[in-house]
A and B are shown apart, each in its own frame.
Chain A
Amino acid sequence: MSAPAILLEVEDLHTSFGIKGRRTPAVRGVSFMIREGEALGLIGESGSGKTVTGLSLLRLLPEHAHMDATVLNYRGRDVLGMSDEAFRAIRGVDLAMIFQDPVGSFNPAKRIGWHLEQAILRRGDTQDWHAEAEAILADVGIRAPERVLGSYPHQLSGGMLQRALLAMIIALRPSLIIADEPTTNLDNLVERQILELIRTHQRKLGASVLFITHDLAIAGEICDRIAVMYAGQIIEIGPTREVLERPKHPYAAGLLATSASLDRGDAELHELPGEPGGAIPVRGCAFAPRCAQAMAACSERSPPLVVVGPDHLARCLLHEH
């Protein structure tokens, strides 16, 4: 059996903020691909560039941002050269995004029914949006669809709104869903339900997912492969079990140790030394200043991504042979 086709291919993605001459890089040469039906986790702490990567893919960056890549292909078609109008046509129906804050994701002046109606009409092949909206809402676990359709966003809870937002995405039937920490603002019970929904509907739609999160446990459950980001670069990428059980990059290993320490409820939390989000060194590995295993060479030259296992790459000189 051959592997599923490649849906999205990204090579050497760079995104920076600010005006010419004084740009601050946020994403520094990210490359990955997602196959059809696959879930790729993008892990990293705040400021590692994972959200900016997601926004770059959908051209949703603020106007003072600048984005570039050598390859950005969707289903083998070049997306980078598309006009804004041509790209808009595939937004939503091909590439969709779920955001962190479900409350802010809704237009406060319009009812939920209006939002769903617009999403369903956007897809454009429906006679009766109302019946379809009710069916999808029931499908995402809303027990009183009629009442929710007639409600304004401020009348519903965050969990309810995230379900409704998911319903809008499902209505569009996209083939890639970029989920940017979709459960960060929700309580544990609701979080589990929403994750379950995302997984079920991903399978139903046959969609791929780029799951952006800082939570390793969630990524471990949802994703087929995991990419760990640090300071705007992917520093390790591989199959979920490979990365979680045999992390090769000291940063990924440290992150896992901290996560395990949290899960065990250690009296003394295992912490990574130093502060994240500091100035990126001009030369060498960005993690070197915080790395316990750093060598002299680490501050001399930037490490390339090297093969460290089956389908498993890490950006670290320790593994360069």
Chain B
Amino acid sequence: MRELISLLARVAQGAGAILLLALLGAAAVFFAMRAGHGDPALAVLGDMATPETIAAFRLKWQLNDPLLVQFWRWLSGALIGDFGASMVVATGEPIVKLVGSRLPNTLFVGAYALALALVISLIAGTISALRHGKLIDSASTSLAVLGISMPDFWLSYALIYALALGLGIFPSYGFTTPSLSLAGALYSGFLPALAIAAPMAAAFTRILRTALLETLFRDHVRVARSLGHSENFIFLHHVFRNALIPYVTVIGLQVRYLLGGTVVVERIFGVNGVGSLMVDAAFARDYPLVQACALVFLACVLLVNFAVDLICTRLDPRRA
């Protein structure tokens, strides 16, 4: 009962923090967009624009109102789930529909990437720690450094070159929506997910290896050994269980990689997701669309961080 109450208090606290951060984020996104160069009117009307048509466009989208008035109009709409319509990319389309149709793709590729990163790092990190100083550890550690240092756009092209064009195992372009075919989505989403996962997998592997090694030599592990417990038991309950705490914490911190990752990688692999939508919208100065996309990403990161925080509290009794 007491645990349930403290959990509920934590959820309420977290929800409050998420709302506050989302508001601040929304303001940052809004004003950053306006501070940049470019004009949506020019993007829509192109070279044929006359001063009259531009003025008409600005009037129609209420771009002449004071910034704060525009911000309030957008924010009050967003709070009740109305993000307005796209100005440029798909003129007149409601943004909720636009983003909503692409969000599943992005969430799928993001979750796919996270899952790949977890699987790779759990295997590589554990082997590295148990065989520390051996050849396989050096190989995995070097690979991890490579994974962290490689830019994702470069890695994407390298993967396309090797696995798609070279060996022809995976498609180089295009993505099947998971609602259409789950197998197709898993297959066509593998390369983009791997490109996003690589730097995360590298970071996760390194932290897991370090955490395992640090825990491996703790006193309670030696005590457990002195009591005659089996090595498997000790690894599972004493070593791995405690190494999980820093591991999960770092996962929470690294989720932002998913963000930057999807934006670039969706574009390269032609995934019809929120990331590529946001890039299109940014180039076109489609203010409300960029703002909505950014807010969706922000919400995802905040929610994942919150979930990770809850898990960490469960894992580490000293934090409860």
A contact set with B: CB distance below 8 Å: 58, 60, 62, 88-93, 96-97, 99, 101, 104-111, 118-119, 122, 152, 154, 165, 168, 172
Contact = CB atoms under 8 A, between A and B. Distances in A.
Contact of B317 (A96, A122, A152, A168): A152
26 contacts: A60-B225, A89-B228, A91-B226, A91-B227, A91-B228, A92-B226, A92-B227, A99-B219, A99-B226, A101-B219, A106-B220, A107-B237, A108-B242, A109-B241, A109-B242, A110-B237, A110-B241, A118-B227, A118-B229, A118-B233, A119-B227, A122-B228, A152-B317, A152-B318, A154-B317, A172-B228
Interface string B22-35: 00000000000000
Contacts of A107: 220, 224, 237-238, 241-242
Interface residues of B, number: 23
Contacts, number: 71
Interface of B: 217-220, 222-230, 233, 237-238, 241-242, 245, 315-318
A208 B229 CA distance: 22
Given A105-B223, A107-B237, A107-B241, A92 B228 contact: yes
A93 B241 CA distance: 25
Nearest to B317: A152
Tell me if A's interface is mostly helix, strand, loop or mixed.
loop
A97 B226 CA distance: 6
Contacts of A93: 228
Given A97-B223, A107-B241, 9 more contacts: A92-B229, A96-B227, A104-B220, A105-B223, A107-B224, A108-B220, A109-B241, A118-B237, A152-B318
Contacts of B228: 88-93, 122, 172
A105 B223 CA distance: 6
A118 B225 CA distance: 12
Contact of A109 (B219, B227, B315): B315
B226 A58 contact: yes
Most interface-central of A96, A109, A119 (chain B CB within 10 A): A109
B72 to A, nearest CB: 49
Contacts of A172: 227-228
Nearest first, the 4 A-B pairs at minimum CB distance are A92-B228, A104-B219, A91-B228, A92-B227
A117 to B, nearest CB: 11
Nearest to B217: A62
A33 to B, nearest CB: 21
B170 to A, nearest CB: 40
Contacts of A106: 220, 223
Nearest to B132: A63
B237 A104 contact: no
A21 B230 CA distance: 33
A104 to B, nearest CB: 4
Nearest to A165: B223
A91 B218 CA distance: 19
Nearest to A114: B237
B223 A88 contact: no
A107 B317 CA distance: 11
B97 to A, nearest CB: 47
Contacts of B245: 109
Given A62-B217, A88-B230, A109-B241, A154 B318 contact: yes
B230 A105 contact: no
